Structure 1
């Protein structure tokens, strides 16, 4: 049989080999060599970083703050405080490498990251017409993230070869395992995240296309439930914070419904958030029918 290490190098250079398949082979090598740090990193990259885990610097991407206008698409969002704008525009992602690879090779020219819910609500409160804010990323940036991961594996495999560690016949000697500890894993510095940065999810942007927006979602039924919810909110005294959050989500849905090409992913996300808020309020019983209806929009 050939050398596992050389196979790993070839796969790292071969674009037809997916990043996930490359990492799985690297995981086999790392486990056999008992390189614990690398095993942890590969597991995170393959499965996604868990809640509260720090993400490497290369997973923190700086994009453009924008809002989605139903008629004009994504337009710049101006934030008066430059420091706040800088913090908001830098987002990290905990997603599995396979998801990021799929987005990077998607048909759209851009992707977006939603901001934490509390920040979204704060920004939308300051708008005359509340619109969905997000951080817009280019596919080039996501490609760069995936390429960085491939490069880390390649550099590690090259370092193993330099130490004479080849992995002939799918196995490594005790001496190989000892020498493997001398090969540095060049993942980069790990730092604290900004707010809930590790929870940010990069999503494929489809707002430039008119296909698939209403597929699988009855927009008229959504509109009817939203109208019912607005009327019920006037009848039931909701807690101030809960009421403001629900109104923000409802306004977002209404803006999408009024658009020529409603973004179903944005609508569904707002409906899920609305349902979660309603379930947590003291008067949730008064909204039981609406909660059930919202649960049907998946």
Structure 2
């Protein structure tokens, strides 16, 4: 009986086998070799990702923002750079089988897939453009196909590593020594996958926001956040809220400059910032600030 490693390697090298079939076989192989991190990745690809926390970078796609003109069809739509950065990226959480279906649909069509924005965001975008043209995100199908290719390449690299280490087994059976070697040789591949997880990503949903990795708190994470807060301050029309936010910005700035920043002070200032933004609806920047403040607060508590 042929080695499962070599069988999977051959199928990953050729294009006839679908990415979903490769993943099911890779999932089986990783379970038998007890390479738990690889199993976790394969399972997420097969079943879909629940949130941005574990989403690999290759599942973050860039599209073009277009508005529908009833007389000319779809035309390019332009926004402020910060707004555009929030809405031009689409995170793909779907199981790999759904990605394959999207690729098929796109290739049978015009080679482009379109995503419409939620109603609240749509209204806000139309107000910004000062026209009643519906705005949508258009992504080339080639970017969805790239997800399938990334998955295929990860599996191919892994099986090549296993072969180089002599982890072939007999059919679907592996010795304890092979299991140990598999875990050691899989480390570079797992690190590669891991480096693409928890990166700073953006999503095109009602909660579109560039997310921060929730891990150990570092005061440096406040520097970029403060820049966004100052821009957000210019958008606030309520004088009282504006002064309140300005006060919290100064508090956070003082903690960034302090040789011994106090988490308790930072935490209270961020809570106040969160309360301010929660009271402002219909603002994309406010939505981003709200979620980023929440992410930093989570890192303070971890």
Answer with 5-14 or 98-107: which moved more.
98-107
Which residue in 2 is equivalent to 1:119? Answer: 121
1:83 aligned onto 2:82: yes
1:205-224 superposed matches below 5 A? none
Query: What TM-score, normalized by structure 2, do the two folds share?
Result: 0.61
User: Cα 1:100–1:71, aligned 2, differ >3 Å: closer, same or farther?
Assistant: farther
> 1-side partners of 2:74 and 2:34: how far apart?
48
> 2-side partners of 1:198 and 1:143: how far apart?
25
**Structure 2: unaligned runs, 5 residues or longer:** 209-280, 283-302
1:102 aligned onto 2:109: no
User: Cα 1:83–1:162, aligned 2, differ >3 Å: closer, same or farther?
Assistant: same
RMSD (Å) for aligned C-alpha atoms: 2.5
1:174 aligned onto 2:159: no
Answer with 179-188 or 33-42: which moved more.
179-188
1:164 aligned onto 2:163: no
> 2-side partners of 1:86 and 1:27: how far apart?
35
Can you list the C-alpha shifts for 1:242-264, whole angstroms capped at 9, x where unaligned?
xx99xxxxxxxxxxxxxxxxxxx
Moved beyond 4 Å, runs of 4+: 195-200
1:193 aligned onto 2:201: yes
**Structure 1: unaligned runs, 5 residues or longer:** 201-243, 246-298
Q: Please report how far the alpha carbon of residue 189 of structure 1 lies from its aligned counterpart in structure 2 after TM superposition.
A: 2.3
From the two aligned structures, give the one with the greater helix fraction: 2
Which residue in 2 is equivalent to 1:269? Answer: none
Which residue in 1 is equivalent to 2:240? Answer: none
> 1-side partners of 2:115 and 2:49: how far apart?
16
Q: How many residues are matched?
A: 201
| SS of residue matched to 1:130 | coil
User: Cα 1:13–1:175, aligned 2, differ >3 Å: closer, same or farther?
Assistant: same
> 2-side partners of 1:142 and 1:35: how far apart?
27
| SS of residue matched to 1:155 | helix
Q: Please report how far the alpha carbon of residue 70 of structure 1 lies from its aligned counterpart in structure 2 after TM superposition.
A: 4.0
Answer with 54-63 or 113-122: which moved more.
113-122
Which residue in 2 is equivalent to 1:63? Answer: 63
Which residue in 2 is equivalent to 1:255? Answer: none
Q: Please report how far the alpha carbon of residue 128 of structure 1 lies from its aligned counterpart in structure 2 after TM superposition.
A: 4.1
> 2-side partners of 1:120 and 1:18: how far apart?
36
